[in-house]
Structure 1
Amino acid sequence: MNSIYISYSYNDILARDIVEALKSSLLENETIYYPDRLLFEYGQDIKQQLMETINKCNYFICIFDNSNPNIMFELGYALGKNKNIILIGEYSDIPYDLKDFNYIKRSDNINEVLIELNKRLYSDIIHDREVICYSEYRENIQRVVNEQDFLDKISYQDFEKIVYEYLKAQNLYIEYPLQSKDNGYDFFIPKRNCLVEVKKYSRNSKISLSVIRAILGTMFEMNVDRGIIISSSEFTNSAINFVQGLKQEITLLTLQDLLKIDGNFNSVFNKQKH
């Protein structure tokens, strides 16, 4: 049976409610561990006791809070021990290097959180999520272009990772912020002083002028010379016309464009406005 460790902040009321709900829903012979509040305040050799407790579990659930050093310590130790990690939190708060782990959106609806936890704790395979080999970026992009079901099925983080692997394959050094959604862009190409924003839209939707204005504002704020928007869908005519009238260099790319310039991505930076 499962033994589960939950890492959370006692000051987080919603996190406490999730823990109590999970404790009530445990199956017979299952064990749940969590940091004792009194242990944190008065115990001796706290870290050693935490590590020993985490060693006992086969699932590590983290109600994510990157401002809490105890949570970050426990998560780091669990990662080092190759525990089965399940993160609960807002996607924008989770560092990029952790976004491949099982992730459950934080919600005030405790039942929804428990349902998602049960899927991960009691199912060997999460059937509604396809396993993607991100390094096969060209095949993945072709599938997104050709298969509407594949585009609908993959998450935003899956799509972002596919684009990231594509850019790496173009011999570009890519940096990403820890909280890209709060910073107004997804990747940064320092050699070109260029921001990259990735947009996953349904096939019937188009990228509008508001998206262009948003990245333009971020470019001004960061004193960046160039921006690139990569989208799963087309761009509106107003967005295209707006970009053409700008002094700043903003390039609009669809997935079809990525396939055409695969291996020659630097041509994007060589284009000059007339």
Structure 2
Amino acid sequence: MPMMEILNFSLSSKQTKSTVRKLKVDVYGIDVQINEKIQITVAGSHRVVLTFNDPNDMAPKAEFRWRVPSQLIPNPGFRFEQWPNHLLYIFNQPRIRNLVFDGVPCIQDLLSFRRTFDKFQSLTIHSTCPDHVAQEVLNNFRPKNKLVLKKHMPDIDHYITSNLDEIHMKTIIELDQLLIMNSNLISIRTPKFSSRDMNRFLKLWIAGSNRNLEVLGIVFESPPGLEMNKVLKGISHENVPDDVGRKFTDWRIERLSWVVYGGINIRRRGDGAIATIKYVADNRIFYMYVSPS
């Protein structure tokens, strides 16, 4: 059944809504993007994007994959918050997957809008968001698993200590902020850290900081790159030959894994966890992969 028919059928009655849910349509997630308009994307083999050009007009335009013409879907009397809830229900999704802000939002009252989303997995704030909007979003929207910041945000301490699975940031942070992050995956683009900072970080990791960390990636935006003799000063380490690989299991999906070849191994005191350090691109990109002993 084409997606347009599925959507229209689900809006006919409570019974047809339940019938569509039982179809178990192949959907990977439902995403919401907010700028001068609102878009709800149902991602899957039957991908569809519902676009709300006016927050006061709840009859969205539906855009489909594979060159199917865009069509307007009649509003059955829904307020906006009923649309994502309806889609979550009929497509058997527990929560919104990604909530994305990438410009000036068409919604004036973001705090009231926040109540639309009970739970969502990931929050992304793009550089196109005005500073005051980005800060308001950060203060009021709390993701369950993942935070992506693509602009500098001065007040992030309450977020980086909130046990998110993943944090991806393009911002200026201090080393002390990195040391209090509790995430499994941390990805940072920053001009801030020096070789001496990274040496201190590794020594504190060996002593027991960042115990949840499994993957760390840092891109240093301001040259020069790291001086590895300073990064490793006073640290017991082992150089791994380039043809020797270590397998790491993805903590998010156990059946997935990857192999890291070469690098430098260091060991944490106490539990014996091993971190493999890799640096590339003239030492301006630093990776650290952690596995149990």
The normalised TM-score by structure 1 is: 0.30
Per the normalisation by structure 2, the TM-score is 0.28
Higher relative strand content: 2
Q: Which has the higher helix share?
A: 1
